Structure 1
């Protein structure tokens, strides 16, 4: 058994100062220790996949050798499969995973862990995530972290430490630092002003985003599907990234980038289907989101890239959700001029937190829409180089 300080301080010496996760009783000493130290950063995520995506965003923007750790119970690995297989793996965004081993064979545990315990190693192996058991002797901590860092630096992919019961001594939470409650904004929801045929197109909305985000300190992250493809077709700029897969993970990813890089203006261009998939992140953004993050949701009421199947977005006031979750401002409507106002305010007016705009757009997309020819790794490396991040170093196949 080790003390929480022995691991956390050894990790800090190797650049790990960002943590995100979902609690497990095995992780309690770590989380409590990190929460007591104002020089360390911990984000309480709504689910394990959001935590993985958030730390991936931290990795994208990190400078000076800073690194991130995602902590979760093994029962949450299922929630994290999508970002682990199509975000961190695909874009080569490494992070250290601490996964508790509930239901470990031979160790008595609750019935809900009876299946997950035995299959945990196989799940990590299947996702090509090297792992070892979490160190239980102080002398083993440094070498374990060095192996993790060596793998992360060589491959650009995650490494996992699987924590058995009783690995870390208890650490009492001395002072609970909760995110400060933010004033509730009033959602602005004007009456619809246009029929479906009169709504702006995704292309028109993205043209406005491009116009308001010249390269420099502006970064645009586009959701998976036609959103990223249309942005690429309009103008493939160095300050843009096009998500592939990891549906619903754009906003926690953007949050991680905005938190680690307050010098950037981060614009996350989301879709209604993706937002509905992981709506818990609205609360996380409302609690932790900084003023340099703008969340734009293009709502066409459909999954366009898979054949136009309807979503349930007509029944949702996304601005109402954002306002209830603590965003600094929340607007929805169908006017491009309103989008202009929100994007202009992001760089001209201070705010107490992130801004939100849901823009109703027309379903459909131009014929012959190209797919990006630049690889996800090259998109990531180009953007990281543009913002002066550590990930800007070339990372070819290794």
Structure 2
């Protein structure tokens, strides 16, 4: 058995200061130690996949990150592990507990995952070893993990067995305090409607993207476009070094943007989301509302359809995303079908809270819509170089990984 301090401090010496995850009783001492330390960051995510994407965003911003989860939740993280971290080559240290361990009697729901955790990691090309149980093992384990991540720029996993870490008491509040919620409304938020009432004249996605490009200055802004037509249309509209075109990892654009915005608070992070993607990972609204700052702008383009897969209808027609964002703690929440909504969003002052816009658009896309002519890895490395160049120009550190 080791002390939480022994592992966390050894990891800190290698630069690991950002943690995101979903709790497991095996991880409690570990999480408590991180929360207690004001120099470390812990993000309590609603979903293991969102935790991984948030950590990926932090890594893009230059902070080495650790993702913590129970193996029962590993299934929730398989998609971003395979289509985000693997595809873009983002190194992350994954700590996954081993519920259903063959050596222990455990709850029936953990039986199968306990048998296949190691095989599942191997299947998705994530190398692993057991979490250290003795203090003398910590440094060698971390060195092996760090060397692999530096060389391959992909995740490395440590599987933690029960009783590995000694108890550690929680001494600080687990999450930051935000404005109180009263009868479903965030008292600190501002909500405004920009509806014209003419559904037949709704703007196209491309018109919206042109407007967003017009409103964003390249040096101090990053634009993250959700998977599907949104990223491809943004590329067709204007291919800039501050753009990230998501592929796969549907629903993870907002959690990735959260992680990046937290480690680079001087950078404006604009996330362009879709209704299908937002519905898939709506729990991240609450995480953004709790942790996000005013440098995060979350724009949801809602055409009430899964456009790139055949325009099958989503259930968004009856969903008021702006009210959801307001209830989750966003500082400014706007809704409408008029491009003036974007002017209001970028001009809004929401103090220290994130900003949100729900913009209704029409379905459809451009004829002969191109795909980005750079690989996802190249797009990401271009973005990192862009951020690094901007930071050097402003006298700040180089955050390239």
1:202 is the counterpart of 2:200: no
Which blocks of at least 5 consecutive residues in structure 1 are unaligned?
A: 394-398
Contact 1:59 1:94 in 2 (8 A): yes
Match of 2:53 in 1: 53
Match of 1:275 in 2: 278
- Which of 258, 261, 267 matches 1:255? 258
Match of 2:104 in 1: 107
- Which of 76, 79, 85 matches 1:82? 79
Deviation track 1:116-153 (CA, whole Å, cap 9, x = no partner) reads: 10000010000100000000010100110000110000
| Cα 1:77/1:291, change in 2 over 3 Å | same
Report the Cα offset of residue 108 of structure 1.
Answer: 1.1
1:288 is the counterpart of 2:288: no
Report the Cα offset of residue 105 of structure 1.
Answer: 1.2
Deviation track 1:247-274 (CA, whole Å, cap 9, x = no partner) reads: 0000000000000001100000000000
1:26 is the counterpart of 2:26: yes
Report the Cα offset of residue 215 of structure 1.
Answer: 1.1
Which blocks of at least 5 consecutive residues in structure 2 are unaligned?
A: 181-185, 392-397
In the superposition, the TM-score normalised over structure 1's length comes to: 0.95
- Which of 278, 300, 303 matches 2:306? 303
Listed as ranges, the matches of 1:294-373 within 5 Å are 294-345=297-348, 349=349, 351-373=351-373
Separation of aligned partners in 2, 1:306 and 1:391: 37
Contact 1:182 1:287 in 2 (8 A): no
Separation of aligned partners in 2, 1:110 and 1:383: 45
Contact 1:301 1:311 in 2 (8 A): yes
Match of 1:174 in 2: 171
Separation of aligned partners in 1, 2:292 and 2:283: 13
Root mean square deviation, CA, Å: 1.3
Match of 1:243 in 2: 246
Separation of aligned partners in 1, 2:399 and 2:247: 18
Report the Cα offset of residue 191 of structure 1.
Answer: 4.8
Separation of aligned partners in 1, 2:360 and 2:245: 21
Contact 1:2 1:137 in 2 (8 A): yes
Contact 2:335 2:358 in 1 (8 A): yes
Contact 1:226 1:305 in 2 (8 A): yes
1:15 is the counterpart of 2:15: yes
3-state secondary structure, aligned to 2:248: coil
Report the Cα offset of residue 187 of structure 1.
Answer: 3.0
Contact 1:271 1:298 in 2 (8 A): yes
- Of the structure 1 ranges 273-282 and 181-190, higher mean CA displacement relative to structure 2 is found in 181-190
Separation of aligned partners in 1, 2:373 and 2:400: 19
3-state secondary structure, aligned to 1:357: strand
Separation of aligned partners in 2, 1:210 and 1:344: 15
Contact 2:194 2:338 in 1 (8 A): no
Contact 1:386 1:392 in 2 (8 A): no
Match of 1:396 in 2: none
Separation of aligned partners in 2, 1:171 and 1:98: 18
Contact 1:327 1:356 in 2 (8 A): yes
Report the Cα offset of residue 192 of structure 1.
Answer: 4.7
Contact 2:190 2:332 in 1 (8 A): yes
Report the Cα offset of residue 337 of structure 1.
Answer: 1.0
Count matched residues: 386
Separation of aligned partners in 1, 2:330 and 2:399: 30
Deviation track 1:84-130 (CA, whole Å, cap 9, x = no partner) reads: 00000000111100000001112111111111100000100001000
Deviating beyond 6 angstroms after TM superposition, the runs of 4 or more aligned structure 1 residues are none
Separation of aligned partners in 2, 1:340 and 1:45: 31
| Cα 1:352/1:392, change in 2 over 3 Å | closer
Listed as ranges, the matches of 1:91-102 within 5 Å are 91-102=88-99
Match of 2:375 in 1: 375
Deviation track 1:366-388 (CA, whole Å, cap 9, x = no partner) reads: 11001111000000000000001
